[in-house]
Chains A and B, each alone.
Chain A
Amino acid sequence: MEFLLQPLTLLTFFPLVGVLVLLFMKSEAKTAIRWVAMVTTLITFGISLWVLAQFKASNPDLQLEAKYPWINVAGWNIYYYLAVDGLSILLVLLTAFLTPISILSTWTAVEDRVKDFMIFFLLLEVGMMGVFLAQDLFMFYIFWEFTLVPMYFLIGLWGGPRRIYAAVKFFLYTMAGSILMLVAILFLGVKTGTFNVPDMLAALPGLYSSGMINPQTQMLLFVAFAAAFAIKVPMWPLHSWLPDAHVEAPTAGSVILAGVLLKMGTYGFLRFNIQLFPNATIEAAPWIALLATIGIIYGAAVSYAQSDVKKLVAYSSVSHLGFVMLGMFALNAEGVSGAILQMINHGLSTGALFLLIGMVYEQTHTREIKVYGGLWKVMPIFGTVMLISSLSSMGLPGLNGFVGEFTILLGAFGSKAIGSPWYAGISAIGVIMAAVYILYMFQKMFLGPAGEITKHHELKDLNWREILTVAPLLIFMFWIGLYPAPFFNLIAPAVEKLLSALPL
């Protein structure tokens, strides 16, 4: 019983209760099914707040540990080990926060096989929580791979016209990265005799200094982990699965994909690459910064060229996540905390954009920018919300995006690890480019003369449910934009501890 009542165990596996209930429901009872999913995820969100209440921000270590021997026979040291610290607490909250919002957004958008949809969605939540909480590499790998399965079905079953292609590409592309990580995990497991991350961290310095794992091997291990995470982020040039997956995924899938799944990649760098391979991290930092910078500029430029608004937002993710990577590998307090905050910001603003695009798509069934125009006149609430989200995404001061990007650039400018202020300088151009493509999109869709769709369609403005869906996101955009201190306070001690372990 004690095992089940651990706050983190509850947080991770509570959605399974919903899955169980759903399994016994008739698939015709669509509204009831939606409510079950909604209530389940809301309770999960409640549990995440309970976890936050017990979380001690001043403590830089892993907290609320649920640790039990799992597979402890025949030389295996595998633990059931969940814990949270400053690096993951915000992402855990974000996951718990975005899932009910996504489910609310499907209320009228998903009519086909609602039961299966909700089951996959709840399973996805279990996987995502597990990824952020697992502190044993075996367990982490299981959760990491497992998230692919429900997402694959979400894209493949409820996606757009090219959904099968997108789903398979998503699955294979992501798996391609993680299999290399699997080999690296096993290698580490064999060398250190454990899969539990804290024990591994204790054993590794000895192996490094004694030459049991030489610098080249350390670099190879770093690259193997990085391959898995860089594909997930996605970093340029490994991003090509992202636009396909995003465009074909149903709205709620896109929200979770952009909001949480991509963060699994950046989180992986933070939790595993930087901690497990300190020397290789420092050696690789300038290269990662280079790729991040290319990604920032490339993503922004390609966004501008899109005619499909969903694709535009998808490519903007490549650019935004580039900022996260740049800040993280600045390897100083500003950069890393900015990166963590920016992960949250991106989840909020891009999540909101995908939700909003989904709402108008539900009415018009097209995402071509050029057929819209003059939307603001017809849908004033929608226009206002869209404007705020767009401004948040492009980093206007006073909104959340600014705080994150500013801190990241501050960190990257002064970074010893990156070694040159040029990366930050060039990346700053990316901020301007973001303003260009976002405002261009906004202008074409919302201002100017009424477009084809606006003229010929009876467009309804957002209803109460839709407002309720995006309102929580807007609140946090303002909150983080105006008063980010509480968020930074949660992150800071853990970041400090992370950096102090690096031989910089």
Chain B
Amino acid sequence: MTQTDFYANFYSIIPLTVLVAWASILLLVDLFIPKGRKGITAFLAALGLAATLSFIIWQTLVGVERTGFNGMVTLDGFSLFVNALVIISGLLGIALAYGYLKRMKLERGEYYVLMLFSITGMMLMAQASDLIIVFLALELLSIPLYVLAAFARPNLQSEEAGVKYFLLGAFATGFIVYGTALIFGATGTTSLSGIFFAASHETPSLLLTIGAALLLVGFGFKVAAVPFHMWTPDVYQGSPTAVTAFMSSGAKIAGFAALLRVFATAFPALSADLTGVLWVLAALTMVVGNLTAISQTNIKRLLAYSSIAHAGYILMAFVPYGNKEVLPISIAAGLFYLVSYVVTNFGTWGVVIALEKAEGKGLEIADYAGLAKKCPALAAAMTVFMLSFIGFPPTLGMVGKFYLFRAVIAGGYPGLAIIGVVTSLVSAYYYLRIVVNMYMREGDPTIEREMWLDFTTMSTAIATVVLSFVPQWLFLLASTAVLRLF
């Protein structure tokens, strides 16, 4: 390997390297931080994320696209955008976790280190342009999450969540590995561009199609698409709430990033077969997610189903993936929607954390009664988040849905857009129930106030509203986040 090669390879993974190194060092440093002062670890972890983010911003400004390590990883506008989003989720996740862990007596330094490792996996996932790297990234992001889900041990629910997530996650990873093996058998390569060339020169073999379908199952599990969503409510409910907040954003971003890159790069030749499958998957996810959410009384389960439903909306952006003209629009729309989802999602979980009490109390929707009188700012923020989830102005969620449905219609699937809007109507019913409880029923909830928590909920609420009026630059960023196909 020559000097320039080394630099080129290294350049493509600078942010990743920085974060991995930081996380490893932090693991050691944490040993010397006294118990009860783990806030320092949180601060250092956030510092590491900020440093990584600054590298990402630098790379975005330099604007060099390249592949590294013989085409195993790609650095392009898409990966930079996704990675920036992942890191922002990491920062918000730390802000939510800090007070929560203290209050729930879970304060241990590994928490933040595990988060950093998981974030590294997510970042690698967005850059992976070889199925082997996809697998590596998937494991790197998942294993710390399994541990985090069970972080509240010896709490039974949390342990159950961890084990369940681990077992089903391992099962899903199995699908991905098996799919990769079949694809390798069909094309003789695991590199995405290699698969593309192999598939486009001859008629795609059945083996390749089955392999791609197996990959879809694996990713479907990661992003919680119906019918691979069964684990979601239990895991989201059992995990410590701060973990759920991070998991429901970060893992979803990474899963979608990989899904998009793999399918748009490697399988355009299969789009005739797969578009229909994606259509059904998206429609099912929206319908089942929203309908099941109606009957939930526990806020964590409700939000779990709502996150399933939102996976369905994002999946809509993938349906026209084989159409070269629409692909840039739909990628931009998908990314924009991810941003709006992440911002709203963290805010919502922030409110949930503010009301949660020890031993899983304060998590029923009925516990939200009277919140508007007790703490008008928090209730107003929650209302903003609920409106954003419904897709109502003046919130980011509305702009996101507008963008997304436009992409779907431009791709020629107005039917899917109609399913999308009708399920949004259904979702209005259960999201409004929370608003009804907060404003129109009497109650006396107790609220935990803590600086970072307040900061997270208020800043995301303000961002949700303000960004809906000035979405231009976010539009611009999302639409320049192009996928480097080769």
Which residues of chain A have a CB within 8 Å of any CB of chain B? 70-76, 138, 141-143, 145-146, 148-149, 152-153, 156-157, 163-164, 167-168, 171-172, 175-176, 179-180, 182-183, 186-187, 189-190
Shortest B393–chain A CB gap in Å is: 4
Residue B410 interfacial (CB < 8 Å): yes
Knowing A168-B432, A175-B428, A183-B414, say if A71 contacts B475 (CB, 8 Å): yes
Shortest B42–chain A CB gap in Å is: 33
Task: Kindly name the residue among A74, A157, A164 whose own CB sees the greatest number of chain B CB atoms within 10 A.
Answer: A74
Whether A145 and B475, one on each chain, are in contact in the complex, defined by CB atoms closer than 8 angstroms, is no
Whether A156 and B393, one on each chain, are in contact in the complex, defined by CB atoms closer than 8 angstroms, is no
**Chain B positions within 8 Å of A182 at CB level:** 402, 405, 421
Give which listed residue, A138, A157, A171, A183, contacts B418 with CB less than 8 A: A183
CB-nearest residue of chain B to A220 = B414
Whether A172 and B393, one on each chain, are in contact in the complex, defined by CB atoms closer than 8 angstroms, is no
**Chain B positions within 8 Å of A70 at CB level:** 472
Whether B440 and A164, one on each chain, are in contact in the complex, defined by CB atoms closer than 8 angstroms, is yes
Whether A172 and B425, one on each chain, are in contact in the complex, defined by CB atoms closer than 8 angstroms, is yes
Whether A149 and B475, one on each chain, are in contact in the complex, defined by CB atoms closer than 8 angstroms, is no
Whether A183 and B421, one on each chain, are in contact in the complex, defined by CB atoms closer than 8 angstroms, is yes
Whether B479 and A74, one on each chain, are in contact in the complex, defined by CB atoms closer than 8 angstroms, is yes
Give which listed residue, A73, A146, A168, A183, contacts B417 with CB less than 8 A: A183
Whether A179 and B475, one on each chain, are in contact in the complex, defined by CB atoms closer than 8 angstroms, is no
Instruction: Tell me if B's interface is mostly helix, strand, loop or mixed.
Output: helix
Interface residues on B, range: 20 to 34
CB-nearest residue of chain B to A143 = B393
**Chain B positions within 8 Å of A167 at CB level:** 436, 440
Instruction: Tell me if A's interface is mostly helix, strand, loop or mixed.
Output: helix
Whether A190 and B410, one on each chain, are in contact in the complex, defined by CB atoms closer than 8 angstroms, is yes
Bound Cα distance from A183 to B401, whole angstroms: 11
**Chain A positions within 8 Å of B479 at CB level:** 73-75
Bound Cα distance from A264 to B111, whole angstroms: 53
Give which listed residue, A153, A172, A186, contacts B409 with CB less than 8 A: A186
Residue B443 interfacial (CB < 8 Å): no
Give which listed residue, B409, B475, B476, contacts A190 with CB less than 8 A: B409
Bound Cα distance from A74 to B479, whole angstroms: 6
Residue B439 interfacial (CB < 8 Å): yes
Which B residues, 454 to 484, have Cβ-Cβ distances below 8 Å to chain A?
A: 471-472, 475-476, 478-479
Whether A172 and B472, one on each chain, are in contact in the complex, defined by CB atoms closer than 8 angstroms, is no
Give which listed residue, B406, B425, B439, contacts A179 with CB less than 8 A: B425
Whether B471 and A71, one on each chain, are in contact in the complex, defined by CB atoms closer than 8 angstroms, is yes
Whether B394 and A74, one on each chain, are in contact in the complex, defined by CB atoms closer than 8 angstroms, is no
Bound Cα distance from A153 to B383, whole angstroms: 11
Bound Cα distance from A73 to B418, whole angstroms: 26
Whether A75 and B429, one on each chain, are in contact in the complex, defined by CB atoms closer than 8 angstroms, is no
Whether B439 and A156, one on each chain, are in contact in the complex, defined by CB atoms closer than 8 angstroms, is yes
**Chain B positions within 8 Å of A152 at CB level:** 432
Task: Kindly name the residue among A71, A148, A176 whose own CB sees the greatest number of chain B CB atoms within 10 A.
Answer: A71
Whether A142 and B393, one on each chain, are in contact in the complex, defined by CB atoms closer than 8 angstroms, is yes
Enumerate 23 A-B pairs (CB-CB under 8 Å) in ascending A order: A72-B472, A73-B472, A73-B476, A74-B476, A74-B478, A74-B479, A75-B479, A76-B475, A146-B392, A146-B394, A153-B439, A156-B440, A157-B440, A164-B440, A168-B436, A171-B428, A172-B428, A175-B425, A186-B402, A186-B406, A187-B409, A190-B406, A190-B409
**Chain A positions within 8 Å of B414 at CB level:** 183, 187
Residue B8 interfacial (CB < 8 Å): no
Which B residues, 43 to 102, have Cβ-Cβ distances below 8 Å to chain A?
A: none
Whether A74 and B422, one on each chain, are in contact in the complex, defined by CB atoms closer than 8 angstroms, is no
Knowing A74-B475, A74-B479, A187-B414, say if A179 contacts B421 (CB, 8 Å): yes
**Chain A positions within 8 Å of B471 at CB level:** 71
Shortest A227–chain B CB gap in Å is: 11
**Chain B positions within 8 Å of A145 at CB level:** 392-393, 398
Which B residues, 375 to 405, have Cβ-Cβ distances below 8 Å to chain A?
A: 387, 392-394, 398, 402, 405
**Chain B positions within 8 Å of A171 at CB level:** 428, 432
- Other than the given A72-B472, A156-B439, 4 more pairs (CB < 8 A) read A179-B425, A182-B402, A182-B405, A186-B406
Bound Cα distance from A411 to B332, whole angstroms: 50
Knowing A142-B393, A172-B429, A182-B421, say if A75 contacts B439 (CB, 8 Å): no
CB-nearest residue of chain A to B336 = A74
Bound Cα distance from A96 to B432, whole angstroms: 30
CB-nearest residue of chain B to A69 = B472
Whether B436 and A156, one on each chain, are in contact in the complex, defined by CB atoms closer than 8 angstroms, is yes
CB-nearest residue of chain B to A123 = B394
Whether A183 and B409, one on each chain, are in contact in the complex, defined by CB atoms closer than 8 angstroms, is yes
Residue B329 interfacial (CB < 8 Å): yes
Which B residues, 406 to 455, have Cβ-Cβ distances below 8 Å to chain A?
A: 406, 409-410, 414, 417-418, 421-422, 424-425, 428-429, 432, 436, 439-440
Whether A180 and B421, one on each chain, are in contact in the complex, defined by CB atoms closer than 8 angstroms, is yes
Bound Cα distance from A251 to B402, whole angstroms: 35
